[in-house]
Structure 1
Amino acid sequence: MSISAQVSFVLVAYNEPWRADQLCQLVRELRPGMRVLPVGDGHAALATCKRQVPSLLIVDGELDGLDGRQLLRELRRHGPTQRLPCVLISARTDTASVRTVLPLAPAAYLGKPYELDDLRRRLDRLLPRSAGRGVAPLAVPADSLDDFLERMRQHNRGAPLQDAVLAALHRLQGGDQDLGELDELLTRDPQVTARLISIANGSGSQQSGSCLSLAQAQQRLGLARSLQLVTELALQHNARLAEPRLAELAAQLGAQALRTARLASWLAQQLKLDSELCFSAGLLQNIGELALLRSLQDWLDSGGELDEPSLQRCLRERAAGFGSALRTQWRLPLGLRQVISAYYALGAGVLSREALVLNLTRLLLELPCDAAPTSLAGERTVRLLRLDPELLARAPRHAIPG
């Protein structure tokens, strides 16, 4: 989207698309005719400001790329943007964070979640009057649930964190947490696993080879950096789901993911394969469902409605798309993505033995309780792995070791 040099505009730099939409709409309500440009990361915001200085910047403190503080610091170094009014909205409202931001002279510093009426009053004072002053909202048609989810699919934040991880991080901040216990909890959380693997394999990494498991990612990142990243995940909006039904489903899906991961790891150990890769792949096989639940919480937060039939339809029709988009968006290593995909179906190409293990894991977990595991002996996966029927008989479908 190009910006005319003669037209003033407001730049909204925000991670969460539905929040960005809400902020853009709020500006248009207050100043009908005002141009509003949304961007989704800090580098895009910085490049836009250098092309043309906006009338006002509304920025997410936890923005991807350059976060809000880093972006504001860069803007204050350049003459044209030194006095740019900025509204910073951040999850970090502790005394130390506020002191860090004050020298950067934000026009307003608001905590998450912001209070809409308070933000409206502040923006009304900061927005230029020449763009017109609105007293009534524009008549913009509301999104349907499907439209909303289609937009969120390519820009969602992934899964919520497990309650046990959030509680452990809270205890850690208070100095009352065993790091060994916390590390054990982190290995069970799909969002932690996916994001640390993604970041460890990021463009900034100078090491060769891909990290395919959480253990490899933690080794590359180090303890301090890993904990910092997990804490940042915990500060994100909807890291914990507020709606009870969504929270209940997330807990069930998390338990299912852990069960899958443990069985896949057990099978890999028996076959002397990469058990850490199989554990991580098993933990991530249903992250699309978890990410979808988080976006549905966003839908409810924005004033949408959701009944049980719509919820179940969304899980059936949209979870796979959310998972695929996440794996691409986070640039998870191809080897890991192939193993995850094999959980659902075996492609026609050459398959690793770890991929076959994930497919066998699904077959075992979906087997009726009264059916013997040896009934799978004729399956293509079992034949390709050349499994001993005795191993199938020993597979711990119900009491999977931790």
Structure 2
Amino acid sequence: MTAVVLPAVPRVLIAEADPASRELLEEVLSHVRCDAQVDSCSDGREALELLGRNPYDLVVADWELPGVDGLSLLRGLRQQPRTPVLPFILMSRRNDSASVREVLPLAPTAYLSKPLNRENLIQRLQGLLLGGPEAADAAPTLEPGLTLAAFLERRRDQSQGAPLMTDVQVAVKRSLNPKGLDLKLLEEEIRTDPQITAALIAAANSAAQHQSGGPVQTVAQALHQLGSGPSMNLILGLTLKRCARLSVPGLAHYAERYWQLSLYTAEYARTIARLLDLEQERCYCAGLLHRLGDLAVLRCLEEWKQAGGELDEPEEVGDCLERFGAGFGSALRTRWRLPLELRELIAAVYGLGGGVYSREALVMNMAAQMARLPAHEGLEELARGRTARLLKVGLPELTRLRKK
């Protein structure tokens, strides 16, 4: 992630009426940033006064505050234009779907259920106050004479990843039922988004470091590992990042093309894996993520434009994708510590080379070839190729796959 320019002494406002909860928050803040300047209050009106007098780097507020409730505080702050968005953690005992729907449009950085969990609090505050994965990133600046190639070289190891291809708020709303967030429904809503998929898998593997079992390699496994609250907060947090959605039409068009290619590859991989009785969902994820680097380049090109850089479309865009796409993808998969098995399947999309390969790797290579084939062309040659022969998949099977 991009390095965050943190204030020398971060200032935090805690608005919490319950003395025990307020004490816990103050204790955890002191543990995470002992130098933080913390202002505490137990009433919403006092919180408003403090917000009017002081510039804060983080607000932590309870929905059920007396006077002016925490949701009203959040709503008022979101109506004030600020770049970057002020991080705001909203806490509540309300877990029903109606409450979550009411909160979603205001984009809190996190929505934490009470009673508060100390470890979860520490993780959230470390991300926000120590420049971790959830910290808001600073916009890149363009020094005089900086070339686009040099800018992308710099951004390769700092990029936020791909733009979002899914309407996150709609996805979360559709996944709510009277009892709260339905993880199965959420999986169906977000499983086609490369950025959300990668972020969930990365977070789940980080959370699972000291737990038994193998690495998390699919969206379903990640949602199960993280649980409903952390999953929703992580996904909503992605929408607050800079250039989370592409606004330059030409770049958005490129992103749509690469996303569609990822989806075709993922669907073919799942279908071939099912045909051969192999692990379908891991193959699907590998196919979906194989163009993550190209999408990340497009997001950085939008950053370049927003910072005042010039961009010739489409020639310069195509050149940047060809030159930097693979490097961005490799850097992201390594930095996010995606499981080695998943990275190997992604690599198989691009080629096999020499050596012995798993059947799943061969499936990925076959899926990529099928996704790139022109309609109604090339199946005979594909059936004669090395990958098809190793998988023992002939022209009849490939023809049926193409028709699905």
Q: TM-score, normalised by structure 2?
A: 0.66
Q: 1:190 is matched with which residue: 182, 194, 210?
A: 194
Q: How does 1:53-72 map to 2 (within 5 A)?
A: 56-57=8-9
Which residue number corresponds to residue 256 of structure 1? Answer: 261
Percent of residue pairs identical: 38
Aligned to 2:215: 210
Specify the alignment match of 1:347 in structure 2: 353
Report the AA paired with residue 360 of structure 1.
Answer: M
Aligned runs of 1:3-402 on 2, under 5 Å? 15-16=1-2, 56-57=8-9, 73-74=30-31, 77-78=34-35, 82=37, 96=70, 111-113=82-84, 141-169=144-172, 179=182, 181-202=185-206, 205-207=209-211, 208-308=213-313, 309-396=315-402, 400=404
What amino acid is the match of 2:168?
V
TM-score (normalizing by structure 1): 0.66
Residue type matched to 1:316 in 2?
Answer: E
| Distance (Å, rounded) in 1 between the aligned partners of 2:357 and 2:244 | 35
SS in 2 for 1:235: coil
Contact 2:208-2:225 at 8 Å conserved across structures: no
Q: Are the counterparts in 1 of residues 194 and 292 from structure 2 also a CA contact under 8 Å?
A: yes
Q: Hey, what's the Cα distance between the residues in 2 that align with 1:99 and 1:73?
A: 24
Alpha-carbon spacing, 1:92–1:157, altered in 2? closer, same or farther (3 Å): farther
Distance 1:311 1:260 in 2: 23
Moved >6 Å (runs of 4+): 69-72, 90-95, 97-100, 170-175
**Shift in alpha-carbon separation, 1:261–1:153, aligned structure 2, 3 A:** same
Aligned to 1:126: none
Structure 1 residues 178 and 328: alpha-carbon distance in aligned structure 2, compared to 1, 3 A threshold: closer
Deviation (angstroms), 1:183: 2.9
Aligned residue for 2:288, secondary structure, equals helix
Conserved 8 A contact 2:272-2:363: yes
Q: CA offset at residue 71 of structure 1? A: 9.6
Q: 1:377 to 1:140 in 2, by over 3 A?
A: closer
CA contact (8 A) 2:9 2:37 kept: no
Aligned residue number for residue 19 of structure 2: none
Change in 2 beyond 3 A, CA 1:99/1:302: same
Aligned partner of 2:96 in structure 1 is none
Seen in structure 2, the aligned counterparts of structure 1 residues 296 and 71 have a Cα distance that, compared at 3 Å, is farther
Counterpart-to-counterpart distance in 1, 2:28 and 2:252? 34
* SS across alignment from 1:310: helix
Kindly provide the amino acid, as one letter, of the partner of residue 362 in structure 1: A
Moved more, 336-345 or 348-357: 348-357
1:349 shift after superposition: 3.2
Q: CA deviation at 1:234?
A: 1.6
- Distance (whole Å) between structure 2 residues aligned to residue 337 and residue 243 of structure 1: 30
Contact 2:197 2:219 in 1 (8 A): yes
Give the structure 2 partner of residue 35 of structure 1. none
Q: Is the 8 A contact 1:91 1:235 kept in 2?
A: no
- Asked if 1 retains the 8 angstrom alpha-carbon contact of 2:380 and 2:395, the reply is yes
Structure 1 counterpart of 2:363, one-letter code: V
Amino acid at match of 1:246: L
Distance 1:257 1:329, change over 3 A: same
2-structure distance, mates of 1:306, 1:92: 41
Cα displacement string for residues 253-278 of structure 1 (whole angstroms, at most 9, x for unaligned residues): 22221121111100000000000011
Greater shift after overlay, 204-213 or 289-298? 204-213
Distance 1:91 1:296 in 2: 32
Aligned length, in residue pairs: 308
Aligned-partner residue type, residue 380 of structure 1: R
RMSD: 3.8
User: Is the Cα–Cα contact under 8 Å of residues 292 and 329 in structure 2 kept in the other structure?
Assistant: yes
Question: Structure 1 stretches of 5 or more lacking a match?
Answer: 1-14, 21-37, 39-44, 46-53, 61-68, 101-108, 116-138
8 Å contact kept, 1:91–1:236: no
Q: How much does 1:250 deviate? A: 1.7
Distance in 2 separating the partners of 1:91 and 1:110: 16
**Separation in 2, partners of 1:347, 1:73:** 53
- Superposed displacement of residue 112, structure 1: 3.1
Is the CA contact (8 Å cut-off) linking 1:57 and 1:87 kept in structure 2? Answer: no
- Give 1:343 shift: 0.3
Paired residue secondary structure (1:395): helix
Q: What amino acid does structure 2 have at the position aligned with 1:306?
A: L
Q: Distance in 2 between matches of 1:147 and 1:173?
A: 45
